[in-house]
Structure 1
Amino acid sequence: MYKTDTWQQKVKLFLIILGPILVTQLGMYAMNFFDTVMSGNAGAEDLAGVAIGSSLWVPIFTGINGIMLALSPIVAQLTGADQKQDVPSAVRQGVYLSTLLAILVLIIGFFVLDPILNLMKLESEVRSIAKDYLIALSTGIIPLFIYNGLRSFIDALGATRVTMVITLLSLPFNIVFNYIFIFGKFGLPAYGGVGAGIATSMTYWVTLLFTVMIIIRVRPFSTYAIFKVFERPSIQAWWNQLKIGVPIGIAIFFEVSIFSAVTILMSTYSTNTIAAHQAAINFASFLYMIPLSIAMALTIAVGFEAGGNRRDHAKQYSYLGIGIAVLLSILCGIAIYAFDGPVARLYNDQTEVIEMTKHFLFYAIFFQLSDAFGAPIQGALRGYKDVNITLLMAFVSYWVIGLPSGYLMATYTFLGPAGYWMGLITGLAVGAITLFIRLIYVQKNASSTVNATKSQ
């Protein structure tokens, strides 16, 4: 990151930061994308099992990962305020914290996995695949959480191309591992959907290895000597990160878990309906990586400018990111409408599943447009370290408005399972509007504070 004065400079720098983040996010989600597509080609039961397993895992991962994302504004503001000497300790404490959180997730998962799956009305084969998929995936949780903490450090320095390279190096491993374990190659048995969990876990370990090697050997990361000194864990440092990270994580959890809750509620429908829903939500979530990447870039840019008390510049970055997100969302909506058939056939070759997937994809056009507003605004607010009110807004928008309205429309109208998608659209739209109001308030309050300081 560096200071910019004109809009042209800001657009150039923002795109330089955004491009690698976008490739990285698309690459990381591509692992889930290939898990789903390749599992679907193994059978509808495998696709449904991975759907249920992912629905339980993804909100947990993204929610906990939100705590790791707190390192981005922390490091960005430290560098923006010329306090680089405090960065290494903050990163090391983040690694300690991420390891502890991963262990807690494993312990809790050991006790609650069976009871949760038993509450769902699943066919026995689908339940078995979902459970074994999650068990296989769990062996990679610790390296995944550590990687995301280290990635926040790398991205906060503006070196987003590095995480892009790491992801692009790791992705082929995931595809090869999927091919081997899902379909049974090189003398190994065909594990089907469970093989996707094995492949993803192994990929997480490869990704962490690449990341550690780069931080140790490549400048400017090597100058911070992250792994040369290991001070004692600091409860105070953890608390400082948790104060920012927990609201971020819970807010992300509320948003992501509503999609998972819908998938779980759809377990009352047929296996083909679950498979079609998972196919459509998987592709829509793949496109969600665009506004999410813009949000992450905004956290870095806004955090850097806010840390240096350049509030007008932080405001300009906020609206720049929102504008880019909306434009790209419109283009994605056109693409979904034009190519819904080919997209649906990527996941499964059964006629009923394909037609239902196309139907769900139509609704995805509208809620990804709402995401184009909401996600970047959340990213900008994180740059200001404004996270608590955002948490409350996310809960109300998604769980008080979105999910109940979806249930009512699915149960009491002609929409059927598509009613849940209408609920998602409603929740995301309300969230986007309330977040925008909050952003305006924060920007106005920040400008007033800076002006008052200057007049003293």
Structure 2
Amino acid sequence: MARNGYVARPRLRGRPANPGRLPTMSLGSSRLLELRKLARLAAPLALVHAGNQLMTLVDMAFVGRLGAVALGGIGIANGIFFTVSTLGMGAMMGLDPLVSQAVGAGDPARARRWLWQGIWLALFVTIVLSIPIAIAPNFLVPFGIEEAVAREATTYLNIRLVGLYPMLVYVAVRAYLQAMGVTRPMFISVVAANLLNVAADALLVFGGEILPAWAGPLRSLPAFGVAGAAVATTLCTILQLAIITSAVGSVEVPGFERGMRRWLRSDLLAALKVGLPIGLQMAAEVSIFALVGLLVGRMGAANLAAHQVSLTLASFTFTVAVGIGAAGSVRVGRAVGARDIAGVRAAGLTAIAAGGGWMALSALVFLLAPKALAGLLTDQAGVIEAAAPLLMIAAVFQLSDGLQAAGSGVLRGAGDTRFPFLANLFGYYVIALPLGLWLAWGMNLGAAGLWWGLCTGLTVVAIALIARFRRISSRPIAPLSPMAPAAAAGVAGEA
């Protein structure tokens, strides 16, 4: 239906007249209705997140055929790149509650203004984060990483750095589109990117010799190995951004003026205030896995390859839970913007249950076929044997991982971004790391000991986040501060 001159998504209908109550229906019926609404939003978002991770999985599958050194190098490089870039991605995700709460309050022009602030924020964040990514390779060999592995990691990192800004802008545009209920372009972008990634990986990693005779001059293209995988992924990032950016123009927003595209210091600081704790939280999580990767790297290239294979597979199933958490963030954010107290709690608890349910199913697959899964990414028997016990441990923490992913999402939608950061910091660095180090070297469990430490830390974080949401959703939650009217008026008439 039309509201303020724009067409609202069907899921925005039916807002209760009394924001403190749900419409009269049984508890079971209301939960089923919320689950359906969550599923309509979560399904495409989960596919998008899974599709993005699938590109990393495909990279690993191609590079894995080059040997343990190449596989370990790309694993180390991805650990460094995503530890740093995740800080920026999290900062950009501060737009999630700001945009979704604006939509819930019926102010699409304010939502569009936040999009443009996000595009400017991405530029500033890229400038800052490029520095640690550029210098990180210098510390790999002194840390104890084999020189050959370090060379591959350096090559991969230098190329991936080119795609950092497009990646961060993509996060901003994605936040806007998902809050507006426009998810099809994101799905199209990830499908197109995956198709390109498979073709580009095959050609750039192995060279033109894999092509048929009729390909002619293309058959002379050299094999670039790890560098080829990095180029392929960077091209895919740019393609995804181009596709979803083209979709923004199709969303009509009356009242939005061209002058509102200008960056405003107060708004950037407001977005950072919300997003920086998200970035720190995500960086804490990603960095602990990257640190574990570096520690496993001290155990040799074969162990590092097994760790990377296991982590890549676990991360793939985790991305679906992240998509559910993103949908939960939107649902909770809209309810907060509409001041629907009961709706906030229903949306959040439904998302948490869905995230845990999905990961419980994933755990069964890991338990039943660990070697078959590892064989998808490498054909080296030694790596497969070493990865199998790690995948069994991953099966144990799948449930906790799903619950904490959904819990982080719904708290983000409520505007609570500081607590998840503190919970992650405590769970990973006070619990997981010390316990993992003791099990790995004190109890001689090796890589498995480090993974059991991660499992324990994830469980602690999941419990803390669920308890936090249950507490804050038991009372009214104030929406985040909107853009200052004076600031908006100051740019409304500019060209």
Structure 1 length-normalised TM: 0.94
Q: Distance in 1 between matches of 2:13 and 2:466?
A: 25
Deviation at 1:224, TM superposition (A): 6.7
Contact 2:141–2:147, Cα closer than 8 Å, also in 1: no
Matched, 1:359 2:389: yes
Aligned to 1:203: 236
Q: Distance in 2 between matches of 1:161 and 1:231?
A: 25
* Residue from 124, 127, 132 that aligns with 1:100: 124
Aligned to 2:79: 55
The one-letter code of the counterpart of 1:254 is A
Q: Distance in 2 between matches of 1:231 and 1:16?
A: 31
Matched, 1:320 2:350: yes
Aligned to 1:385: 415
Deviation at 1:72, TM superposition (A): 1.6
The one-letter code of the counterpart of 1:418 is A
Q: Distance in 2 between matches of 1:188 and 1:120?
A: 36
Map Cα deviations across residues 90-143 of structure 1 (whole Å, 9 max, x no partner): 111110011221122223433x22332233212222111100001111111111
- Superposed CA RMSD: 1.8
Contact 1:158–1:300, Cα closer than 8 Å, also in 2: no
Matched, 1:396 2:420: no
Contact 1:24–1:163, Cα closer than 8 Å, also in 2: yes
Matched, 1:143 2:153: no
Aligned to 2:488: none
The one-letter code of the counterpart of 1:280 is S
* Residue from 108, 112, 132 that aligns with 2:155: 132
Structure 1 stretch 182-191 or stretch 133-142: which is displaced more?
182-191
Greater helix content: 1
The one-letter code of the counterpart of 2:99 is V
Matched, 1:159 2:192: no
Contact 2:137–2:153, Cα closer than 8 Å, also in 1: no
Structure 1 stretch 137-146 or stretch 297-306: which is displaced more?
137-146
Aligned to 1:66: 90
Deviation at 1:227, TM superposition (A): 10
Map Cα deviations across residues 33-73 of structure 1 (whole Å, 9 max, x no partner): 11111110122111011011011111222221111111121
Matched, 1:432 2:462: yes
The one-letter code of the counterpart of 2:189 is I
Where 2:475 maps in the other structure, the secondary structure is: helix
Contact 1:120–1:267, Cα closer than 8 Å, also in 2: no
Q: Distance in 2 between matches of 1:402 and 1:54?
A: 21
The one-letter code of the counterpart of 1:22 is A
Aligned to 2:221: 188
Deviation at 1:230, TM superposition (A): 6.3
Q: Distance in 1 between matches of 2:166 and 2:244?
A: 10
- Where structure 2 has 5 or more consecutive residues not aligned to the other structure, the ranges are 1-10, 15-22, 24-29, 209-217, 480-495
Q: Distance in 1 between matches of 2:475 and 2:12?
A: 24
Contact 1:92–1:226, Cα closer than 8 Å, also in 2: no
Map Cα deviations across residues 182-230 of structure 1 (whole Å, 9 max, x no partner): 11123222121221111111111111111222223x3xx2547989556
The one-letter code of the counterpart of 1:236 is S
Where 2:12 maps in the other structure, the secondary structure is: coil
Q: Distance in 1 between matches of 2:143 and 2:257?
A: 45
Structure 1 stretch 20-29 or stretch 373-382: which is displaced more?
373-382
Aligned to 2:111: 87
**Aligned in 2, Cα 1:285/1:434: closer, same or farther, shift over 3 Å?**
same
Q: Distance in 2 between matches of 1:226 and 1:329?
A: 41
Contact 1:247–1:391, Cα closer than 8 Å, also in 2: yes
Structure 1 stretch 423-432 or stretch 338-347: which is displaced more?
338-347
Contact 1:44–1:348, Cα closer than 8 Å, also in 2: no
Where 1:92 maps in the other structure, the secondary structure is: helix
Q: Distance in 2 between matches of 1:443 and 1:230?
A: 34
Q: Distance in 2 between matches of 1:224 and 1:208?
A: 24
Matched, 1:176 2:199: yes
Aligned to 1:2: 12
Superposed counterparts of 1:323-334, under 5 Å: 323-334=353-364
Contact 1:130–1:194, Cα closer than 8 Å, also in 2: no
Q: Distance in 2 between matches of 1:329 and 1:208?
A: 29
Map Cα deviations across residues 246-297 of structure 1 (whole Å, 9 max, x no partner): 0111111111211111001111111110001100010001111121111111
**Aligned in 2, Cα 1:227/1:369: closer, same or farther, shift over 3 Å?**
farther
Identity, in percent, stands at 27
Matched, 1:38 2:80: no
Structure 2 length-normalised TM: 0.86
Deviation at 1:444, TM superposition (A): 2.1
Structure 1 stretch 436-445 or stretch 315-324: which is displaced more?
436-445
Contact 1:36–1:47, Cα closer than 8 Å, also in 2: yes
Where 2:263 maps in the other structure, the secondary structure is: coil
- Where structure 1 has 5 or more consecutive residues not aligned to the other structure, the ranges are 451-456
Q: Distance in 1 between matches of 2:373 and 2:257?
A: 44
Aligned to 2:380: 350
Contact 2:80–2:133, Cα closer than 8 Å, also in 1: no
Q: Distance in 1 between matches of 2:429 and 2:163?
A: 30
Answer with 1 or 2: which has the greater Rg.
2
Where 1:446 maps in the other structure, the secondary structure is: coil
